[in-house]
Structure 1
Amino acid sequence: MNNLWHLTGKIQPRSLTESRLRLHYAIQFIAATGSALAEPLQDYSHTSLTWKSDLKVFVGAVIHAIRSFQVALDPVSLISIILDKHGETIATSPLEGKTLVEGMNWHKKQISQLGADAEKIAFLSYPPDDFPDHAIAHGATFNTSEVAGRQELANYYANTHQLLQEIVAETEDASPIHTWSHHFDMATLISIPGKKNGEPITVGVGMSPGDRSYDEPYWYVSPYPYPDTTSLPKLAGGGFWQTQHWVGAVLTASQLTTDSDGAQEEQVRAFLYSAVKASKALLV
């Protein structure tokens, strides 16, 4: 354990939906820029975000231009940021009172000045039934009033990033940690040698801030191809198995102890490690 864990639970996890949706839309500027201007990667991770723990911001891929840069977002203040390749700030713009179009126009203007072809940038398209709808998508402006909710969500990401760093460091064939713009989950993917039923064998380990499955933050470990669910092993930390629509081990934020930051960290760690071990065994 370490003293970097941020105690969560001061805000009821199921009350974070509105903050989460606004933040989900705010990260789309990062994804759009990476999709249009970063070097394409087979796993599409050039469209993903990374948690930059020293600055406590989400950052996108490095864009090589006359002046190389990264697009970033402060999730608590909802301020869009352009960083240079050394992590120094080039420009900032609060999203408060801006529409998606206005926010995009600001990004394009700044990026053009750095020597990149900003006209290529466009919002990513997602299946309409698999991406959350919100008034922001229909012209409403960003509202930054829910600071406490966004701080709470930032704490979930920061905490998870710490634990995933441990897992990646200790696990062979674990991918870098990405936060994906589609479902807004932070995860690593563990690849296991061989195939099962003709499919690559993987274990996804991560945290979702909430979605259709659970309208609150939750940690998950998902073995693939999905194993038989008739005899699933017990999990540590109060976790349980999700078997409807997808199969995976789950620990919801509302199940977390609020005794102390150390106890909370240990509960999530115990869950993740037991679920990874169980998932690998189910895939043998």
Structure 2
Amino acid sequence: MSMMTPATINPQALIESRLQLHYAVQYIAATAAALAEPLPDNSHTSFRWNPALKVFVGSMIPATQPFQVALEPVSLTLIVVDDQNDAIASLPLHGKTMREGLEWLQQEVSKLGADASKIVFLDYPPNDFPDHPLAHGAAFDASQALALRELADYYITTDRLLQAIATTNKNASAIHIWPHHLDIAMLITLPGTKNGHPLTIGIGLSPGDTSYPEPYWYVYPYPYPDTANLPILDGQAFWHTQHWVGAVLQSSQLTENANAETRQQQIAAFLHSALNASITLLKQNVS
């Protein structure tokens, strides 16, 4: 799989593909919410990138035949995978509605000995999940393969960079892709507290949201620092200060026409500089 082709893709096509992907992964979350071992932070509804299978894959579901639900992001194909990582069944979602996909999934899951009737799409707070014709009976459209591939490449690259950061930070959480905002992220916890709050740094990629419509990388220290004296960041990155405070690098700020390796180095440099800046900010006034 190519890694992040130069950004020649129409931003609108990227937004549309991101919304298609956001709805397609809801099958993973719905199955896990209904049937996986529940975890207090809801991470059982999250999923991860599986580099061997080149799919997003959800929690293991206990059943007569244990299984996971996966999604191949470029073709938007829903896959049921057994505990040996072999595909048991698959459904290309292109041309199918959300309901048709759910009916297929319930049928396949019930064959494996789990109670498929429990699988229902997750409810999110109003105005906190993007609306789209898919929510109102429209069919999936996987025809923008280039845009879907570009999005998949952002997740692959970010997963690789977060894995590298995790190896040098013993207080890093697992890497999760969250179904609510479709961000891939991990949390680093630092020693100490500030005003009674643990010190944490969130690091990840959003494929685009209400803050920025395009994909962007972020690093945010919490509790949020005072915005009066934020340090300068590497590259073209900047501090976002509306509603939340964090360092941001937008995909449109990546060096144009650079090869994949150069772009990955640019993202890595941003993540490291923003992580160091965040650690410095949090260490001020620690109780």
Say how many residue pairs are matched. 282
1:140–1:12 CA distance, 2 compared to 1 (3 A): closer
Question: Where does the alignment leave 5 or more consecutive residues of structure 2 unmatched?
Answer: none
Asked if 1:282 is matched to 2:285, the reply is no
Q: Identify the residue that residue 260 of structure 2 maps to in structure 1.
A: 261
Q: Does 1:63 align with 2:61?
A: yes
| Contact preservation (8 Å) 2:75, 2:145 | yes
TM-score w.r.t. length of structure 2:
0.95
Contact 2:249 2:270 in 1 (8 A): yes
- CA distance in 1 between counterparts of 2:10 and 2:201 reads 29
Question: 2:101 — aligned with what?
Answer: 103
Specify the SS of the correspondent of 1:63: coil
1:124 aligns with 2:122: yes
CA distance in 2, matches of 1:279, 1:176: 19
1:262 Cα deviation after fit: 2.0
CA–CA separation in structure 2 for the residues paired with 1:188 and 1:81: 25
8 Å CA contact 1:66–1:115 kept in 2: the answer is yes
**Aligned residue number for residue 164 of structure 2:** 166
**Matching residue of 2:204:** 206
Over the matched positions of the two proteins, sequence identity in percent amounts to 56
| Cα drift, residue 13 of structure 1 | 4.4
Give the structure 2 partner of residue 271 of structure 1: 270
Which residue number in structure 2 is paired with residue 52 of structure 1? 50
**8 Å contact 1:8–1:156 — kept in the other structure?**
no
Instruction: Measure the CA separation in 1 of the matches of 2:93 and 2:13.
Output: 22
- Give, in angstroms, the shift of residue 149 of structure 1: 0.8
CA contact (8 A) 2:238 2:248 kept: yes
> Can you list the C-alpha shifts for 1:26-57, whole angstroms capped at 9, x where unaligned?
00000001111111111111000110111211
Q: Which residue of 1 aligns with 2:236?
A: 238
Between the aligned partners of 1:238 and 1:171, the Cα distance in structure 2 is 25
Q: Residues of 1 paired with 2:85 and 2:3: CA distance?
A: 24
The TM-score normalised by the length of structure 1 is 0.96
Amino acid at match of 2:232: K
1:13–1:253 Cα contact (<8 Å) kept: no
How far is 1:172 from its partner? 1.7
> Which SS does the other structure have where 1:230 is aligned?
helix
Q: For the aligned residues, what is the CA RMSD?
A: 1.3
- 2:124 and 2:180 in contact (8 A); partners too: yes
Give secondary structure in 2 for the equivalent of 1:103: helix
- The 3-state SS of whatever aligns with 2:70 is strand
Please say if residues 251 and 271 of structure 1, whose CA atoms lie closer than 8 Å, have aligned partners that are also in contact.
Answer: yes
* Letter matched to residue 229 of structure 1: T
C-alpha separation in 1, matches of 2:171 and 2:260: 30
Aligned to 1:227: 225
Alpha-carbon displacement from aligned partner over 1:56-103 (angstroms, at most 9, x marks no partner): 110000011100100000000111000001110000011112111111
- What secondary structure does 2:21 align onto? helix
One-letter amino acid of the structure 1 residue matched with residue 19 of structure 2: L
Per-residue deviation, residues 89-123 of structure 1 (Å, max 9, x unmatched)? 00001111211111111111100100111111111
Most deviating of 158-167 and 256-265: 256-265
Q: CA 1:81–1:44 in structure 2 vs 1: closer, same or farther (change >3 Å)?
A: same
Secondary structure of the structure 2 residue equivalent to 1:128 = coil
Distance change >3 Å, CA 46–CA 8, structure 1 → 2: farther
Residue identity in the other structure for 1:17 = I
Q: Which residue of 2 aligns with 1:21?
A: 19
What is the CA-CA distance between 1:199 and the residue it aligns to?
A: 1.4
Q: How many angstroms apart in 2 are the aligned matches of 1:48 and 1:193?
A: 26
Q: Distance in 2 between matches of 1:173 and 1:4?
A: 32
Where in structure 2 are the equivalents of 1:52-201 lying within 5 Å?
Answer: 52-201=50-199
Measured in 1, the distance between the counterparts of 2:180 and 2:143 equals: 24
Could you say if the C-alpha distance between residues 171 and 49 of structure 1 is closer, same or farther in structure 2, counting changes exceeding 3 Å?
Answer: same
CA spacing shift, 1:101–1:21, aligned 2, 3 Å = same
Deviation at residue 10 of structure 1 after TM alignment: 3.1
Give the distance between the partners of 1:216 and 1:174, measured in 2 at CA: 26
Secondary structure of 1:130's counterpart equals coil
CA distance in 1, matches of 2:276, 2:112: 47
